[in-house]
Chain A
Amino acid sequence: MSQPLKGRLALVTGSGRGIGNAIALKLASQGADIIVNFFRHREAADKTARDIEAMGVKAQIIRANVGDAKKIDEMFDTIGNDWGHLDILINNAASGVGRSVMDVDLKAWDWTMDINAKAFLLCAQRAAKLMEGRGGKIVSISSLGSSFVLPTYAIVGISKAALEALTRYLAIELAPKGICVNGVAASAVETEALKFYIKEGFIKDTRQATPAGRMVIPEDVANVVAFLCSDEALMIRGQIIIVDGGTSVAPFVMQEQDRQ
């Protein structure tokens, strides 16, 4: 199997479970050594690392709450000391509070913005320094809630909009350094975490509303991320690639078909 990322080092934030896990495994399958960042689920991170090492590449686990600037600094200090460089940053870690706009308080706002938006700024700043002189790839993981209004998704959607804007600014500012920055925005992805946020029937409804006929799974996102990390995607800069099985371009078509 071809290993286009052999010898590269990738940091995937929030890679113990779900989308981050799938991305870490995909990049590892292409030969990259992986830094598995996690915060709350050590057992899952341990398993991710074991699965990565089983593919014959290296894995290092770093626990850090990316909502805390000091912890981000410590994580990058460790990467700098242990590896001295970084080739790929996948800004995947996310959190949020499911509330309507009118119920958002400062605590929920700060928590969500710190983890979903501010962390990307701080991680990208530190990562870019470790990529100096060797180029690199940065991919942010967003969601359709950045552009569309989803029930009780207000703060997360707003934080993802900030993350997408930052993706574009970073893409232009880092282009002269040979660093390629893009994002991937998915619709609801079938993960363990999703089950905490959704109401009964959501998965069935989403499946029916998706032109591609099924929900997006973590591997769908991971495949696009891997492409954006390849040299074949070098001329894609500052773009947010949507992975939603066609939902966003045909919101009414499927509802109409359901009625027939």
Chain B
Amino acid sequence: MSVEEQIKEIVAKIVHVDKSIITREGTFKDIKADSLDVVQALVAVEDAFEIEIPDEEAQKFQNFGDFVDYVERCLAAKERA
């Protein structure tokens, strides 16, 4: 499963929505996630991929696409290290 699909699955489970409504262009607001959902999603993704997403970085995400891209960059950096 791709990183994008895994993230969608994690977010869908936390926010209790069908993962099909999560798109790269969409936002947490679009799927009616509250602030706790957002934090829990970040934590769950961090744990799943064993990476760190500081709040300073998360605040820059405009949509799920940015979220996925960031995680992929972290994984690539981890691979190189």
Contacts and interface: CB of A to CB of B under 8 A. Distances in A.
Interface string B44-81: 00000000101110000000000000000000000000
A107 interface: yes
Given A65-B43, A97-B36, A111-B36, A41 B56 contact: yes
Interface residues on A, range: 10 to 19
A43 interface: yes
A111 B40 contact: yes
A107 B55 contact: no
Nearest to B46: A65
Contacts of A107: 36, 40
Contact of B54 (A42, A97, A111): A42
B54 A108 contact: no
Interface residues of B, number: 9
Given A40-B54, A41-B54, A43-B56, A108 B36 contact: yes
A85 interface: no
A160 interface: no
A76 to B, nearest CB: 19
Given A107-B36, A111-B40, A41 B52 contact: no
Contact of A42 (B40, B43, B52): B52
A63 interface: yes
Nearest to B14: A107
B11 to A, nearest CB: 14
A42 B51 CA distance: 13
A48 to B, nearest CB: 14
B36 A63 contact: no
Contacts of B52: 42, 63
Nearest to A112: B36
A11 to B, nearest CB: 20
Nearest to A43: B56
Interface in A125-145: none
A36 to B, nearest CB: 15
A114 to B, nearest CB: 11
B51 to A, nearest CB: 12
Interface in A188-219: none
Given A40-B54, A41-B56, A42-B56, 12 more contacts: A40-B55, A41-B54, A41-B55, A42-B52, A42-B54, A43-B56, A63-B52, A65-B43, A97-B36, A107-B40, A108-B36, A111-B36
16 contacts: A40-B39, A40-B54, A40-B55, A41-B55, A41-B56, A42-B52, A42-B54, A42-B56, A43-B56, A63-B52, A65-B43, A97-B36, A107-B40, A108-B36, A111-B36, A111-B40
- The 6 A-B residue pairs with the shortest CB-CB distance in the complex, in nearest-first order: A40-B55, A42-B54, A97-B36, A41-B55, A43-B56, A108-B36
